[in-house]
Chains A and B, each alone.
Chain A
Amino acid sequence: MKITQGQFSFLPDLTDEQITSQIKYALQNNWAVNVEYTDDPHPRNTYWEMWGMPMFDLKDPAGIMMEVNDCRKTYPNHYIRVTAFDSSRGWETPRMSFIVNRPKDEPGFGLMRQEHNGRSIHYTLRSYATEKPEGSRYG
């Protein structure tokens, strides 16, 4: 099951060239760009691990692509996303966020039912991947 999140979630995965153009757009707007990764695909998992510091004052996407590629090399089977932050309002606001890497094999989610008082049932999702501990979830 292909997990989608953020911008361009309705499109096929972006190529490196497309990612570079998107980052270029962010830099043209003077946004800071950050690379993050995770292996917990739950949709409510908002805070991913940071790959180094957010990058400020860059002129060219090559530097960010270098970090993206380094992150891919280290975590080939993690989700990796690029986020661009706008500080023009006095605080850093995400303006762009899109996935640039995903595991080869995404097992998807199981539906969990919890019996509750008065025969009511609570439903929740659980990723099959998270049955294993962090770091050994995808291949």
Chain B
Amino acid sequence: MNTVMEEQQNQMPGSAMPDDTPVDLKKVYEDSHIQDVLDQLDRELIGLKPVKSRIREIAALLLVDKLREQVQLSAQSPSLHMSFTGNPGTGKTTVAMRMAEILHRLGYVRQGHIVAVTRDDLVGQYIGHTAPKTREVLKKAMGGVLFIDEAYYLYKPENERDYGAESIEILLQVMENQRDDLVVILAGYKDRMDKFFQSNPGMSSRIAHHIDFPDYTADELLLIAKLMLANLNYRFSQEAENVFAEYIVKRMQMPNFSNARSIRNALDRARLRQASRLFASSGKSLTRADLITIEAEDILASRVFNQPAAE
């Protein structure tokens, strides 16, 4: 065996294996069970086309990197830090959790857990408080994914004594030096994140993947609503579904619309109204179907329908 290897090395100076060494992409792909996660992503996340295709690309890159490693082509472990930008309720946190799972399956993070933090968890309140606080969070996230929500709050340009800068400095240092131990995902609204990256070029250059989350269309939101209800063991009546589609269109025009989160809140309120409707009709005998069905009147009672159309 050794002599064979030596011969090959003699033929191919500078590389341990000949160029025609067969590689089995399919096997690596199947071994990683990555398709399960990607399928799950397709099933459970409606819309988000650009996000999904980006995740596919990243998964493909990591798989190919693994193969290259097998045939002893040295490759620096890729930088996997990411930034997720998008409006509220577009699924940034959910995707981050999936990302942790994908990276875990591909063996790029060892534990695959996710630590979600905001400014409060990283930045201290007095001098000397920030560094240990940030380091503690970083240590907890090691082997997994550190998800920093609304990351732009870390940097407050109007206050030059703000401790956020110290936190960013430590983050950058660990992001650079311990790439194998930790993946950092920054999330926030698009415009503010852009400003944040502009004022922190060091941060921007250390993040390889900038992923933008688009807003959902009305049709996608209806699908999301049905999926949410199904998870809670509820369903719309046919009429209620039509009314809810109408509700979504109306709600989207109103201020403070935050995509899937608004839908979740609307459904929660509909469940409340359904419960009180069932109480009110206590004379009638109820069936299992009554308990799981949301009727049109549960949704029509919403304030969205009572408001005069904003002209």
Q: Which residues of A contact B132 (CB under 8 A)?
A: 52-53
Q: Which residues of B contact A52 (CB under 8 A)?
A: 132
Q: Which residues of A contact B144 (CB under 8 A)?
A: 59-60
Q: Which residues of A contact B40 (CB under 8 A)?
A: none
Q: Which residues of A contact B142 (CB under 8 A)?
A: 58-60, 62-63, 66
- Could you list 21 examples of A-B contacts with CB < 8 Å? A53-B132, A55-B136, A57-B140, A58-B139, A59-B113, A59-B140, A59-B144, A60-B111, A60-B142, A60-B181, A62-B110, A62-B139, A62-B142, A62-B143, A62-B178, A63-B138, A63-B140, A63-B181, A64-B139, A66-B142, A66-B178
What's the minimum C-beta distance from B181 to chain A, rounded to whole angstroms? Answer: 4
Q: How many residues of B contact A (CB 8 A)?
A: 14
Q: Which residues of B contact A62 (CB under 8 A)?
A: 110, 139, 142-143, 178, 181-182
Task: Identify the closest chain B residue to A67 (Cβ).
Answer: B139
Taken together as a complex, chains A and B put the C-alpha atoms of A61 and B136 apart, in Å, by 13
* Chain A interfacial positions (CB closer than 8 Å to B): 52-53, 55, 57-64, 66-67
What's the minimum C-beta distance from A13 to chain B, rounded to whole angstroms? Answer: 24
Q: Which residues of A contact B181 (CB under 8 A)?
A: 60, 62-63
Taken together as a complex, chains A and B put the C-alpha atoms of A52 and B181 apart, in Å, by 21
Q: Which residues of A contact B139 (CB under 8 A)?
A: 55, 58, 62-64, 66-67
Task: Identify the closest chain B residue to A57 (Cβ).
Answer: B140
Known contacts A52-B132, A53-B132; decide if A59 and B178 are in contact (CB<8 Å).
no
Task: Identify the closest chain B residue to A70 (Cβ).
Answer: B135
Q: Which residues of A contact B111 (CB under 8 A)?
A: 59-60
What's the minimum C-beta distance from B15 to chain A, rounded to whole angstroms? Answer: 27
What's the minimum C-beta distance from A22 to chain B, rounded to whole angstroms? Answer: 16
Taken together as a complex, chains A and B put the C-alpha atoms of A57 and B178 apart, in Å, by 20
What's the minimum C-beta distance from A23 to chain B, rounded to whole angstroms? Answer: 11
Taken together as a complex, chains A and B put the C-alpha atoms of A58 and B181 apart, in Å, by 13
Q: Which residues of B contact A57 (CB under 8 A)?
A: 140
Name 10 extra pairs, CB < 8 A, besides A62-B178, A62-B181, A64-B139. Answer: A58-B142, A59-B113, A59-B142, A59-B143, A62-B110, A62-B139, A62-B142, A63-B138, A63-B142, A66-B139
What's the minimum C-beta distance from B178 to chain A, rounded to whole angstroms? Answer: 7
What's the minimum C-beta distance from A116 to chain B, rounded to whole angstroms? Answer: 49
Q: Which residues of B contact A59 (CB under 8 A)?
A: 111, 113, 140, 142-144
Q: Which residues of A contact B110 (CB under 8 A)?
A: 60, 62
Q: Which of B22-65 contact A (CB under 8 A)?
A: none
